[in-house]
Structure 1
């Protein structure tokens, strides 16, 4: 366990491992070098990593000498560029999951993800995912609010069978789920779509867009290879979604503030950004 284990997204895999009779090693102080050393010392078969930990390991090029059998990751969106780099580092062993405090909802293997880049997978057996807008189920490819019908074992008898996740996204024709961002007003949805588009750009390891009237776009990018200027693509995407040209701030991968589960801490970016540089430098 490379993450703090008091958040369900990171604690869950440790609890599952303990319940299955496995030992769990928790890293007290994070660093890529210490992580690789611990994994080799205890001959770890699997690991749970949030995207910020994946970013740090990819940037440092650190992986244990003894390959993992499985690398679980979740807790925050994982941009395709980062995930491809992580697959190159660890091998085709990444296993991503998406869920809420109620339950893990979807999972996707490396082989599936390479066919469906950006997806968080298909629902687990017994769980139904529905994408709706104004109470109407949407066809594949259309973005709406993500709702789930949980298994009876995952909810109290007094709870409604359908649970709103608070996220927006879409299902493709094969039933794979793509999560765009958080639900909100139509203007916030446009902002979420822009943020999703930015994460798909080459070289981007993570991104956050704040505000809709005067959006600010914070873009983390890798430092080990030439980084294509993202400004024209970001401005074009903003126009497509009916947003004004955003203020764009570039930052090195892993340099923006994070929550314990690995998400970029949006509240820490509301003022002027000092973490990165303006423009395509």
Structure 2
């Protein structure tokens, strides 16, 4: 049976220290966190839901933990959310107040919380996720799913109370908040949030376990002295987007360690990961976590849409029964919308999104991620995004948007053709100063300029 979500936080056996949590240079002990969170829980108990202004600050963690203690669903608000996005999230979620704004969070306040443990099926978070159309939808994440997911990752990564976790990721996403804060609280390990995920901050933190998105790791390898300072770390974990193969290799060369890649979504949490004691290969996200099952739908040429089921899945989209039904198969599996391959040993590779990254050209099914990695292998290319564009003869032609220095279109097309099958080469290349990206560093292909 999975222990309650916050058991480790209040367990007497958990070793405490004055800097158990450090966020943007400010520290507190677990006892101090629990006391301040208890005061929050006492004030908001009984609310239908609360929003939290999710800045990289101790107050954010206190607010989140307080709401979880009280069994009140948390709606994380990006601190830079524009008025339209903010209004939609607050209106759609029905959050009665915003902790950190309407209701201040006092780190010095203390109260013992003795309320009952909420049901594992109860909603812990309402996380808003954008699709290709329409306003963001609120994914309902149950407490039991978070507990199961974190325990699965603790097993896969051999993550224990002896670790020091370091990251500087936003606290309004699964990666930074669920894995990067609740993971530390559940395992009992020390947490250092660097405020911003700079190479210098990572190098100075002295962690054993680091979380980053590909943008973070690409910046780290461009600062060799900072990268070498991570050589003592036990695991370097990358997620939220595909880690380019050259960055993978540079991290290994500079730190002596192959990074761990993992895969998940807001609706599923983390479902697949490489293991601490297993093989780690560029472009591979590992095998399913305990209790998670995966399969490929509409398989052609070894490529298909990944579907998952297991204990880490969300319960649905808030107030969107039709969207919830559409996201699942008739037998209840979640349609990820991601295109993947599964190797003979069970290792998964994500090759792109079905909506934008599965290219059908000349009768072939081609994953955009494979072409992007081939382009990134060229020493002159620093960024790449590949899309399929309608074509009268081919159905779709492969077009690449790249950030590169001192290389021409023909050379890059020939380079890809020499690394992959010829039919996977780009037919056209557009050079940009930078790719449009979101807060997590994911390229936003819908924002690429027209050809």
SS of alignment partner, residue 24 of structure 1: strand
Does structure 1 residue 230 correspond to structure 2 residue 412? yes
- The separation in 2 between residues aligned to 1:34 and 1:186, in whole angstroms, is 34
Max Rg structure: 2
Q: Matches of 1:194 and 1:238 in 2, distance apart?
A: 13
Which of 397, 400, 408 in structure 2 is aligned with 1:217?
Answer: 400
Of 68, 85, 91, 2:250 maps to 85
The one of 135, 152, 173 aligned to 1:7: 173
What corresponds to 1:200 in structure 2? 374
1:77, distance to aligned residue in structure 2 (A): 0.6
Structure 1 segment 41-52 matched on structure 2, within 5 A: 43-52=206-215
| Cα distance in 2 for residues equivalent to 1:185 and 1:32 | 31
For residues 169-211 of structure 1, give each alpha carbon's deviation from its aligned partner in whole angstroms, at most 9, with x where no partner exists. 1111111111110113897455862442231352455421134
Q: Which residues of structure 2 form unaligned runs of 5+?
A: 1-166, 317-323, 391-396
The alpha-carbon distance between structure 1 residues 6 and 221, as it changes in their structure 2 partners (threshold 3 A), is farther
Shift of 1:221: 6.2
**1:41-82 residue CA offsets vs partner (Å, 9 max, x unmatched):** xx3221101000000000121236362122111000112221
TM-score by length of 1: 0.75
Correspondence for 1:276:
none
Which structure carries more relative contact order (alpha carbon 8 Å, separation 6+)?
Answer: 1
Mapped to 2, the partners of 1:109 and 1:192 lie a distance apart of 28
Q: Are 1:107 and 1:120, in contact at CA under 8 Å, matched by a contact in 2?
A: yes
Shift of residue 34 of structure 1? 3.1
Paired position in structure 1 for 2:76: none
Q: Show the counterpart of 2:188.
A: 21
Residue 83 and residue 149 in structure 1: after superposition, are their counterparts in 2 closer, same or farther (change >3 A)?
Answer: same
Q: Is this contact kept in 2: 1:238–1:245, CA < 8 A?
A: no
Quick check: 2:305–2:339 contact (8 Å CA) kept in 1?
yes
**Cα distance change, pair 96–244 in 1 and its aligned pair in 2 (3 A):** closer
Select the residue among 203, 207, 219 that pairs with 1:36. 203
Alignment of 1:1-281 (within 5 A): 1-14=167-180, 15-37=182-204, 39=205, 43-61=206-224, 62-63=226-227, 65=229, 67-92=232-257, 94-101=259-266, 102-109=268-275, 112-114=279-281, 117-133=282-298, 138=299, 142-151=302-311, 154-156=313-315, 161-184=332-355, 188-189=359-360, 193-201=367-375, 202-203=377-378, 206-213=383-390, 216-220=399-403, 229-234=411-416, 240-241=423-424, 245-249=427-431, 255-271=434-450
Contact 1:2 1:27 in 2 (8 A): yes
Deviations, residues 65-111 of structure 1 (Å, cap 9, x unaligned)? 36212211100011222111112222225222101122211111475
Q: Distance in 2 between matches of 1:13 and 1:187?
A: 29
Q: Any conservation in 2 of the 1:183–1:189 contact (CA below 8 Å)?
A: no
Q: CA deviation at 1:239?
A: 5.9
Distance of 2:254 and 2:432 partners within structure 1: 24
CA 1:156–1:3 in structure 2 vs 1: closer, same or farther (change >3 Å)?
Answer: closer
Following superposition, the deviation at residue 150 of structure 1 comes to: 1.6
Give the TM-score taking structure 2 as reference length: 0.49
Contact 1:235 1:246 in 2 (8 A): no
